[in-house]
A and B are shown apart, each in its own frame.
Chain A
Amino acid sequence: MFPLPTITRPLTICSFRASEFAAADMAEYKVKFEVFEGPLDLLLYLIKKEEVDIYEVNLTKLATTFIEYIETMRLLDLEIAGEFLVMASTLMYIKSRELLPVEQQVQVEGDEEGEDPRWELIRQLVEYKKFKDAASQLQALEVARENTFPRLPIKPEFEADRPAAKPEVSIFDLLNAVNTVLQRFTKRDDPRDIFDDKWTVSEKIEHVLKAITERGKVTFSELFAQAASRSEVVCTFLALLELIRLKQLVCAQPEPFAEIEVTRSQNVGQDSPGVLGSPSEPSAPEPSEPVLNPVASESASVEETPAASPQETGGTPG
């Protein structure tokens, strides 16, 4: 009979008084949408609207308003949750009791302490209200927590200790180590066969970085554990050297004769690598610049040095 707003959310209730509704004056429609969590929430809203204390609320009047709301929900084709109907029936029961004279009610209540449904409802409302308040306090805490930032200092004093405990390895240590790895591959590929480069240094750079990001630190031999041929070892090694030169990685030997460990350098500046770091600046990169070419010539003795590698090393610094 009236053009009603279409509402899809099941528990959304148009709150307007039935009298306004009955007035059928379209201009006066004040449709406000409120989402109620349940019948108790709706009751609290109604009590708040009445501007009275929960203890002093007129439950019979409340029952009438509540049922008006249920009616409105029905008119608007909203799904009425079962809880609302239970509450409506409780309120109807209370209202029906109210029809008895007051003095008689008091007598009945006196006999049956705590059995009064009105009292039961008020108690439930008060309890729910307190938890609702507690919930908003929790919400305030949630927001405050979101806005507090902890102090997370970078390790200040440990920095100085670390080089002593974990001496940097030199380029020659790395070469020795890679030679050990290469000994696994006694058979050289036939120099007369020409293959596509199966691996490129840039691929291996990504591979090495991924492994280190995942695990934090990787030992030298772990880097080559998957390698299936000399050329793959060479590629990975070149990638490692490149990363050291770019100051992305640091190689360190925790103690003499221990395995070389590869970790991310402390001052990995995403935008400006190496700008920050005097204390943790790896000593390896410095020599690696001049030494890199010897390495290339050294690995040139290994026939299958991929053609891509000099380009890669030459290309990336820019």
Chain B
Amino acid sequence: MDLKFILESILFSAQKPLSVKEIRDVLANAAEQEDADSTVKVLKKTKEDDVTSALEQLAKDHEDAQRSYRLACVAGSWQFVTQPEFAPWLKALVGVKARPPRLSQPALETLAIIAYRQPITRAEVEQIRGVNVDGTMQTLTERGLVEAIGRAEVVGRPMTYGTASLFLEYFGLRSLEDLPAADELRKIVVEKPPAPLTADPGLATTPPEQLAVKEEGGSQKAEEQSAEQQPHS
């Protein structure tokens, strides 16, 4: 019997989302039963990796089959869920899901920054957003999406924040690796364009030559001075 179909039957009947570990426990418990035959016993010590890959294969099968439901992994636990487009009928069937109100735009932006850049201090979030985030941070913390996870080893040892356990569940994500465009956003390396940033020939009027030379020398000197001053102080 194919492992993935055994897993399918388990998840089909499960009362709650099951983690890979829980599924393994089910396989082990099944093998403990008195009437367990060899097929069942063989699976007693299935490796977690095998379970995961079987689940992934199963999920892909369901996706390829284009049915109205999929096998989804949210926060590491697997479950059958319906596709969003069938929501109107399901709402009529089981009622609207009890969920807190949707997040506001500032809250989503703040949350995105924290999710991709965790651990991150409040000041760093504010630097990226360019505005004060006290209010939104409080909302996110109250809603259990964000929590303090440590302290940064910088002056003042400010709190660092990260996403809380509810975050993955709330957005239906498998893990933090599963965030959209995660690689790109964790470390944005913004390439400096080779061309001048603002080429407005009309604006930069050529000043009298003397003034220009003087200005250039002056500014360079000033910068050199400041560079020299730093080590001394």
Q: Is B129 an interface residue (CB 8 A)?
A: yes
- When distances are taken between beta carbons in the complex, the residues of chain A under 8 Å from B155 are none
A134 with B198, Cβ < 8 A, contacts A38-B131, A108-B219 known: no
Is B112 in the interface zone, CB < 8 Å from A? yes
**Cα(A124)–Cα(B131), bound, Å:** 13
User: Which A residues are CB-close (under 8 A) to B129?
Assistant: 37-38, 40, 128, 131
B180 interface neighbour in A98, A137, A142, A149, Cβ under 8 Å: A137
Do residues A98 and B216 form an inter-chain contact, with CB atoms below 8 A?
no
Q: Is the CB of A144 within 8 A of B111?
A: no
* Given contact pairs A137-B181, A149-B90, A37 touches B170 in the complex (Cβ within 8 A): no
How long is the Cα–Cα vector from A104 to B127 in the complex, in angstroms?
A: 30
Q: B216–A107 contact, CB under 8 A?
A: yes
Tell yes or no: A165 within 8 A of B by CB: no
User: Chain A interface mostly helix, strand, loop or mixed?
Assistant: helix
Cβ contact of B220, chosen from A87, A111, A118, A144, cutoff 8 A? A111
Chain A's closest residue to B181 (CB) is: A134
The smallest C-beta distance from B9 to any residue of chain A, in angstroms, reads: 11
Known contacts A101-B212, A137-B181, A138-B112; is A150 also within 8 Å of B17 by CB?
Answer: yes
Given A38-B130, A124-B130, residue A131 in contact with residue B87 (CB < 8 A):
no
Q: Does B160 contact A (CB under 8 A)?
A: no
The complex places the Cα of A157 from the Cα of B13 at a distance, in Å, of 9
In angstroms, Cα B203 to Cα A160, docked, is 85
Using Cβ atoms and an 8 Å threshold, which residues of chain B touch A290? none
B88-120 interface (Cβ within 8 A of A): 90, 94, 97, 99, 102-103, 105-106, 108-109, 111-113, 115-116
Q: Does A23 contact B (CB under 8 A)?
A: no
Among B87, B109, B116, B219, the one with the most A-chain Cβ atoms within 10 Å of its Cβ is B109
Q: Which residue of B lies closest to A37 (CB)?
A: B106
Distance between Cα atoms of A280 and B201 in the complex (Å): 85
Binds A, one of B28-36, B43-51, B58-66, B75-83: B75-83
Is the CB of A39 closer than 8 A to any CB of chain B?
yes
Interface segment among A58-66, A195-203, A246-254: the answer is A58-66
Cβ of A258 under 8 Å from chain B: no
Range of interface residues on B (Cβ < 8 Å): 35 or more
**A41 contact set on B, CB distance < 8 A:** 130
Minimum C-beta distance from B144 to chain A (A): 15
Write out, one digit per residue, whether chain A residues 79-104 have a CB within 8 A of any chain B CB (1) or not (0): 00101000100000000001111101
Tell me if A51 is interfacial: C-beta within 8 Å of chain B. Answer: no
Residues of A within 8 A of B199 (CB): 102
Interface residues of A in 137-188 (CB under 8 A from B): 137-139, 141-153, 155-157
Q: Are A101 and B207 in contact (CB-based, < 8 A)?
A: yes
Residues of A within 8 A of B219 (CB): 108
Contacts of B200 in A (CB 8 A): 58, 60-61, 98
- Which residues of A sit under 8 angstroms from B215, Cβ to Cβ? 100, 104
The verdict on A210 contacting chain B, using a C-beta distance below 8 Å, is no
Contact B105 A37 (CB under 8 A): yes
A47 interface contact, C-beta 8 A: no
A146, B15: Cα distance in complex, Å: 20
Q: Report the separation of the CA atoms of residues A124 and B128 in the bound assembly, to the nearest whole angstrom.
A: 7
Any A CB within 8 A of the CB of B5? no
Interface membership of A122, Cβ < 8 A: yes
B67 within 8 A of A: no
Task: Kindly provide the distance from the CB of A104 to the nearest chain B CB, expressed in whole angstroms.
Answer: 5
Whether A111 contacts B223 by the Cβ 8 Å rule is: yes
Q: Among residues 109 to 127 in chain A, which have CB atoms less than 8 Å away from a CB atom of chain B? A: 111-112, 116, 118-119, 122-124, 126-127
In the complex, A77→B214 CA distance in Å?
A: 43
Q: Which of B19-27, B146-154, B189-197 contacts A (4 or more CB under 8 A)?
A: B189-197
Q: Pick the most buried of A123, A124, A139: most chain B CB atoms within 10 A of its CB.
A: A139
| A138 touching B108, Cβ below 8 Å | yes
| B 156-171 binary contact with A (CB < 8 Å = 1; else 0) | 0000000000000011
- CB-contact partner of B172 in A108, A126, A131, A145, under 8 A: A145
A40 B130 Cβ-Cβ under 8 A? yes
A13 CB to closest chain B CB, in angstroms? 14
Chain B residues whose C-beta falls within 8 Å of the C-beta of A60 in the assembled complex = 198, 200, 203
Give 16 A-B pairs besides A122-B190, A150-B81 with Cβ atoms closer than 8 angstroms. A38-B129, A39-B130, A40-B131, A60-B200, A61-B200, A81-B132, A100-B212, A116-B197, A124-B128, A126-B190, A134-B115, A134-B180, A135-B112, A139-B102, A139-B108, A149-B81
- Can you report 14 A-B residue pairs in the complex whose CB atoms are below 8 A from each other? A37-B129, A37-B131, A55-B197, A58-B198, A58-B200, A100-B215, A102-B201, A105-B204, A108-B223, A124-B130, A131-B109, A131-B129, A148-B81, A152-B16
